[in-house]
A and B are shown apart, each in its own frame.
Chain A
Amino acid sequence: MAGILTYSFMQNAFLAAVLVSVACGVVGTYVVIKRIVFISGGISHAAFGGIGMGYFLGVNPIMAAIPFSIVSALIMGITSKKAKISEDTAIGILWSLGMAIGIIFINLTPGYVPDLMSYLFGSILTVPFNDILIMLVLDIAIIIMVLLFNREFMGISFDEEFSQIMGMHTTTIYLILLSLVALSVVVMIKVVGVILVIALLTIPAAIAKQYTYRLGRMMTLAVVLGMILTTCGLYLSYLFNLASGATIVIVLGLGFLFSTLIQKIIE
């Protein structure tokens, strides 16, 4: 196993797996307990619009994805509060609209579009070091936000009405949480691709939830599980020469199945 780490692309890949696990363990915990998995799927697919825009403008697509996915997240969050459209509907519309916008931008981009598949399906093996730095900065931002707003995020996840009475601006807090999801999605795009991001956001946290009901422990466990399972998936994809993103997701899925069976046996 140690042999493969001599390749710098492998070093980058394992670093990426670790950084991704931090984002998905921390933010994924809120996604699972507040049951915003569907909207998170919507945000991740809408982010592809930003990727396309980035190509078109000639900048790093990841950098363009950041504002685009945050704006998509905010629109999805606000429409249900302000307009008479249900959040479900807004998500469904923006999910595909975002992807379509991305595809059109790519069509309009002159010449060859490199790495397109890597944004859709992930390409952890070709993550450049620059992207690793961006992921590190985003991770730090996510951790700081969670440390600052944990009470508020818990409040709106557990009892939004009571939190509002206690003086929380619950809509603003919800939008901040959705923005964190948007940032996490961008961190994960290069690893598993837009289409499979939702697996990383939900599965490690869902497994952790089976073992603890203390939020701090749940987050830590989700991060650790994420690291173990993504690096396993990465190693297996190297061994069997399979798509890395998909292999990681299959390992995550098997991990969840295994954990659920253990829980049933324990009962």
Chain B
Amino acid sequence: MCNVVEMENVSVSFDRQSVLQDVNLSIDKDEFLAIIGPNGGGKSTLLKVILGLIKADQGRISVFGKKPGDPSNPIGYLPQYVSFDPDFPINVFDTVLSGRYHGLFKNYSDDDREKVVNALEEVGMLKMRHRQMSRLSGGQKQRVFIARAIVRDPKLLLLDEPMASIDPKMQESFYELLAQFRKRMAIVLVSHDVGAVSTHVESIACLNQKLYYHGSVEESAEGLEKVYECPIGYISHGLPHRILKDH
């Protein structure tokens, strides 16, 4: 099975509003894919369908050959927002540890704790492992949630608008982190900000209820035009990609 995700003719609507229309998408196990498109275009919904949080109204989906939402699927997820009480009593270590949840009545093991240490080290938050979550800055919280996403050694990492709470100057180090993860898992990154998607990304999918394009970055211009419904002037190489309107 080379494809970790297979979606055929998937449609989702909420309250008779169509959110995803007839989406066909395959994600390869080595892919580094950016899904871009305007806000409200269904990008978060697409991730949630893969995760099994939302059921598709039509179409077939298989994730690692199984149904989406199967807890044995090795998927890591970084949500767009995690809102919690400003004073919530949990620290960094326990937040990441919850990513190793095994099910009812099963305790966390020493192996679990070791994996948490490794994950925290990889994102550079090990020193703060006893700090209360609400005492962290936005960027630090984001890193803890990334550690939580990768702590169970996923084969597919889903990131929903990860750049939204990261400083522009932190973005490059974030992409370096992704480049590390890249070696052992497929990555799907969702963003509404085309300009922020860097050269590390290999393929792009353009989504605005319908999937307009899925392929290499170089050939994506036409797809992007359809998605954003405005002429795209040119795409240049560089960090990050810059896309300018016709002017």
Contacts and interface: CB of A to CB of B under 8 A. Distances in A.
Interface of A: 33, 35, 148-149, 151-152, 154-155, 157-159, 161-168, 209, 212-215, 218
Contacts of B238: none
B85 A213 contact: no
5 contacts: A33-B88, A151-B101, A154-B98, A163-B98, A165-B71
A148 B103 CA distance: 11
Contact of B53 (A155, A159, A161): A161
Contact of A213 (B52, B79, B84, B87): B87
Nearest to B90: A158
Q: How extensive is the interface on chain B, given as a class? A: 20 to 34
A227 to B, nearest CB: 21
Given A166-B101, A209-B89, A215-B89, 14 more contacts: A154-B90, A155-B101, A158-B98, A161-B53, A161-B79, A162-B148, A165-B51, A165-B71, A168-B101, A213-B87, A213-B90, A213-B91, A214-B89, A214-B91
B162 interface: no
A159 B203 CA distance: 31
Nearest to A159: B82
Among B91, B103, B104, B132, the most chain A Cβ lie within 10 Å of the Cβ of: B104
B98 to A, nearest CB: 6
Given A33-B85, A35-B85, A168-B101, A162 B90 contact: no
B14 interface: no
Contact of B132 (A149, A166, A168, A213): A213
A207 to B, nearest CB: 13
B53 A164 contact: yes
B79 A155 contact: no
A244 to B, nearest CB: 32
B145 to A, nearest CB: 9
A213 B51 CA distance: 31
A218 B71 contact: no
B101 A212 contact: no
B240 interface: no
B99 A166 contact: yes
